[in-house]
Amino acid sequence: MNLTLKIWRQKSPEKKGKMVDYKVTDISEHMSFLEMMDVLNEQLINSGEEPVAFDHDCREGICGMCSMYINGEAHGPDRGVTTCQLHMRMFKDGDTITIEPFRATAFPVLKDLVVDRSSFDRIQHAGGYISVNTSGNTQDANATPISKHDADEAMDAATCIGCGACVASCKNSSAMLFVGAKVSQYALLPQGQVEAVDRVKNMVAQMDLEGFGNCTNTGACEVECPKGISLENIARMNREFLSANLKG
């Protein structure tokens, strides 16, 4: 198929960016979206132009590195996939595709489609862990049974890949799905209880400090999340936050 691409080009964080049109031809429907971008870049390199910078790594939907806002949706039109898993069969010959970086105050653009998501890391530094040293003397893994239901729910929350699609999709640029997922994972497990109060307070405080907005329950984040992280995690975080503040 032949396509027109409208892509955000921005040389560096300080420089102004703009949308630039490109044409690509003979794109196979079996290609992944990023393989289509590879074709474009090879074309640009061969004609002496600078290729489009974009983040990507594992190309199997798990590292969370790829981003891109495609035709107004984080990770594009398909559901339950990252951009690297999006296939060209979702598009048709003659389409014009608009490709922008994830937009949010807390995700500044570094170059073209590459954004800085280190704010996510800093939220994790604020409490996304259980304080246990490596010793070889921790108790036996089966000493504390955990109900399958809780373990499975914790796992569902823990599948978050930290890509930031939730933030990019939210009209408030809220990171509450991301933070809620981590808070939930630990809240559902006995190991997470000891530090539960401080964890939720500290992570929420850091989230606010980074400039992420609040949640107004539109649910766009859940729809666009490539891993299907549920809105319930935001509700759970709100409960944890409320009870943490009541406990003082």
Q: Scanning residues 145 to 164, which ones bind other proteins (CB under 8 A)?
A: 145-148, 151-152, 154-155, 158-159, 161-162
Nearer to other proteins, 8 or 215 (CB): 8
Residue 60 buriedness (CB in 10 A; 0-12 / 13-18 / 19+): exposed
- The residues, any chain, with a CB within 8 Å of residue 60's CB and separated by 6 or more, are 84, 85
**Taking the complex as a whole, how short is the minimal distance between the CB of residue 140 and other proteins, in angstroms?**
6
Pick out residues in 191-210 that bind other proteins (CB under 8 A).
191-192
Q: Which of 18, 30, 171, 247 binds other proteins (CB under 8 A)?
A: 30
Told to check if 40 binds other proteins by CB under 8 A, we report no
Amino acid at position 196, single letter: A
- Per-residue CA distances from 69 to 92, 101, 213 (Å): 18, 6, 19
Task: Please state, in angstroms and rounded to a whole number, the distance separating the CA atoms of residues 235 and 221.
Answer: 14
Task: Decide if 218 contacts 171 (C-beta within 8 A).
Answer: yes
Nearer to other proteins, 44 or 223 (CB): 44
Pick out residues in 86-125 that bind other proteins (CB under 8 A).
87, 89, 110-111, 114, 116-118, 120-121, 124-125
Q: What is the 3-state secondary structure (H, E, C) of 5-44?
A: EEEEECCCCCCCCEEEEEEECCCCCCCEHHHHHHHHHHHH
CB atoms under 10 Å from CB of 128, counted, come to 20
| Number of amino acids touching other proteins (CB under 8 A) | 77
Task: Please state, in angstroms and rounded to a whole number, the distance separating the CA atoms of residues 167 and 189.
Answer: 26
Q: Judged by CB under 8 A, which stretch of 1-9, 76-84, 216-224, 232-240 contacts other proteins?
A: 76-84
Nearer to other proteins, 11 or 92 (CB): 11
Nearer to other proteins, 161 or 234 (CB): 161
Told to check if 12 binds other proteins by CB under 8 A, we report yes
Told to check if 136 binds other proteins by CB under 8 A, we report yes
Nearer to other proteins, 18 or 30 (CB): 30
Task: Decide if 153 contacts 183 (C-beta within 8 A).
Answer: no
Nearer to other proteins, 55 or 240 (CB): 55
Told to check if 225 binds other proteins by CB under 8 A, we report no
**Taking the complex as a whole, how short is the minimal distance between the CB of residue 65 and other proteins, in angstroms?**
5
**Dihedral, CA of residue 164, residue 154, residue 193 and residue 139, to nearest 10:** -120
